[in-house]
Amino acid sequence: MTLAGWTLIALFIALCVAITKPMGLWLFALYEGRATPLTRVLGPVERGFYRLAGVDPAREQTWRQYALALLLFQLVTTLATYALLRLQAHLPLNPRGLPGLSPDLAMNTAISFVTNTNWQAYAGEATLSNLSQMLALVPHNFLSAASGIAVAFALFRGFARTQTPFIGNVWADLTRITLYLLLPLAVIYALVLVAGGVPQTFASTVDATTLEGAQQTLVLGPVASQEAIKMVGTNGGGFFNANSAHPYENPTALINFVQMLSIFAIGVGLTWCFGKAVGNPRQGWAILAAMLILFAGGVAVVYSAESVGNPLLHQAGLAGANLEGKELRFGMAASALFATVTTAASCGAVNAMHDSFTPLGGLIPLFNIELGEVVVGGVGSGIYGFLLFALLAVFIAGLMVGRTPEYVGKKIEAREVKLAVLAIVVLPLCILGGTALASVLPAGLAGPLNHGPHGFSEILYAFTSATGNNGSAFGGISANTPFYNGLLAVAMWIGRFFMIVPVLAIAGSLAGKRVIPASAGSFPTTGPLWVGLLVAVILIVGGLTFLPALALGPIAEYRAMLAGTLF
């Protein structure tokens, strides 16, 4: 650990706070449906989409209509993506003549990108053509991110509106978010990446001579455009198998820092947008404070654990930090920070091999995902996942003071609490259930490349990442098999949409209620006490749920490491 490393982490957190309000203002304009500086240019495009689809953007929907339209849209795009991947060999922009994907891999990949998971059981440069990268995958980087933000907007309206059955129009939300937020950000960001050394070309390969004089063929492609929305939309799917550790995706330390900031940018902005939507920006700042407390604690553990290194190697005379699986051009602090950011934000991009982290260093990325996308989280999914825990926390607070719980002016009753619990239990059911199956079936046990608790952690991480729609992996598991492709695809679908539907149901329920003015008996939800309660509820629920599984994996591996046991 160094002063420079801690300074980098502190600077990152400070810049996240600094961009919260500017990004929140941009998001709030979209939430309200107001004109933006880009409306003059993109307004005709927006109206053209509505005419083409026969959509009236002013006609709002109930939560059931909103949910049904969103689910049908996702189903249709999943089938279209599956067809493109299967037919890849017969489509243009395939200069290396790559074959179509197998049925199980095509299904897994299609569901992965539709659900904003971007789990990749393949090497991108060796499996996908340029057309598949651009037409089958990149659109989902926009649409899945827009879907998450749209659901967040619907939930905000549930809190902000009074005695109405309507929570917005999903087609208007998706169109405006894509046109006025994600697309402009991605275009500007892609140009920054190109200036920083990321390729953007239709060229297939380039030949290079190594320092030793050997010839090497390097794969190229339209990388910058995919990299931009991959980060901004917290998608995480890499053009290359090495993801953001590859110099063509992440060429310099400066670009690495910009990528980390871009992963958090929309997530932190949505906290301020929520506070503004409910008429009290302090509500948003309180949520952001709780998120950053969890994040800061996590990155401190990872940085400390990786800097201390492995005592077994120290005994063998190899003193120093744990550098295995890390890019030396980024260093220890930037690698630890990136690992925490990408799992705290449900992004899944990686600039280091999580499988090579120390037991405690690998535990934090795993636990970040298991907390349910609440440590900033994915675009949209982070804030609505956090608000589920906020409902539980205010319900507990209401029991403490002996009155019906209220949150931002809405009475929280049995229906909202039941729906919140229903959405929250989706993660442990899928994560622990899938891990249990894979840990006892021969097809599941054939996947891990390591023995002992670390092999168990590889299985646990795979199902955690899939269900949590993160997409990163420990890396030491062979997941491109019919067993894992099928089971992880189911986990990704359930983890995404079995949470979205209860969230929209909560939005509809809250929108139908009247706003209750705060009184002397109301529990304050903006101060340090509230922030502490939020953090405690999240950690207790996550700890009680996943502690037994973590004890069998990274915690057992840590104890074995201290005892000198090898597997």
Indicate the DSSP class of residue 182: I
Backbone angles phi, psi at 65, to 5 degrees: -65, -40
Do residues 378 and 234 lie in contact, with contact meaning Cβ atoms separated by under 8 Å? yes
Predicted confidence band of residue 193 (pLDDT cuts 50, 70, 90) = very high
Average pLDDT of the residues in 157-174: 95
Helix locations, 100-245, DSSP H: 103-114, 124-127, 130-131, 138-160, 170-177, 183-195, 223-232
- The answer to which of 142-156, 227-241, 513-527 has the lowest mean pLDDT is 513-527
pLDDT for 346: 85
Who contacts 214 (Cβ-Cβ below 8 Å, separation ≥6)? none
pLDDT for 82: 95
Residue 96 in tokens: 């290396």
Choose between 438 and 210: higher pLDDT. 438
Who contacts 458 (Cβ-Cβ below 8 Å, separation ≥6)? 355, 447, 448, 449, 450, 474, 476, 477
Average pLDDT of the residues in 236-258: 90
pLDDT for 18: 96
Measured distance CA(370)–CA(431) in Å, rounded: 8
Return the SS3 of 477.
strand
Average pLDDT of the residues in 528-547: 90
Residue 359 in tokens: 């037991």
Do residues 454 and 361 lie in contact, with contact meaning Cβ atoms separated by under 8 Å? no
In SS3 terms, 342-381 reads as HHHCCCCCCCECHHHCCHHHHHHHHHHHHCCCCCCCCCCH
Choose between 214 and 300: higher pLDDT. 300
Residue 178 in tokens: 């894509």
Measured distance CA(266)–CA(457) in Å, rounded: 30
Nearest alpha-carbon partner for 390 in 515, 497, 289: 289
Does the pLDDT of residue 401 top 80, yes or no?
no
Question: For residue 384, what are the CA distances in angstroms to 10, 149, 151, 159, 213?
Answer: 26, 9, 8, 12, 54
Measured distance CA(118)–CA(174) in Å, rounded: 20
Percentage with pLDDT > 90 across the chain: 67
Measured distance CA(404)–CA(414) in Å, rounded: 10
pLDDT for 184: 95
Choose between 217 and 262: higher pLDDT. 262
Nearest alpha-carbon partner for 395 in 263, 291, 541, 278: 541
pLDDT for 15: 96
Indicate the DSSP class of residue 122: S
Choose between 545 and 213: higher pLDDT. 545
Average pLDDT of the residues in 111-121: 91
In SS3 terms, 259-272 reads as HHHHHHHHHHHHHH
pLDDT for 464: 94
Measured distance CA(531)–CA(158) in Å, rounded: 22
- The answer to which of 38-52, 100-114, 392-406 has the lowest mean pLDDT is 392-406
Provide the 10 A C-beta neighbour count for residue 96. Answer: 12
**Residue 205: its H or E element:** strand 205-209
Nearest alpha-carbon partner for 137 in 164, 110, 167, 176: 110
pLDDT for 396: 86
- The answer to which of 64-73, 122-131, 529-538 has the lowest mean pLDDT is 122-131
Does the pLDDT of residue 175 top 90, yes or no?
yes
Helix locations, 406-481, DSSP H: 414-424, 426-440, 442-445, 452-467
pLDDT tens digits, one per residue of 412-441:
988 999 999 999 998 899 999 999 999 999
205 beta partners: 219
Mean pLDDT, the chain, rounded, equals 91
Residue 552 in tokens: 């069998």
Does the pLDDT of residue 205 top 90, yes or no?
no
pLDDT tens digits, one per residue of 434-477:
999 999 999 999 999 888 899 999 999 999 999 999 988 887 88
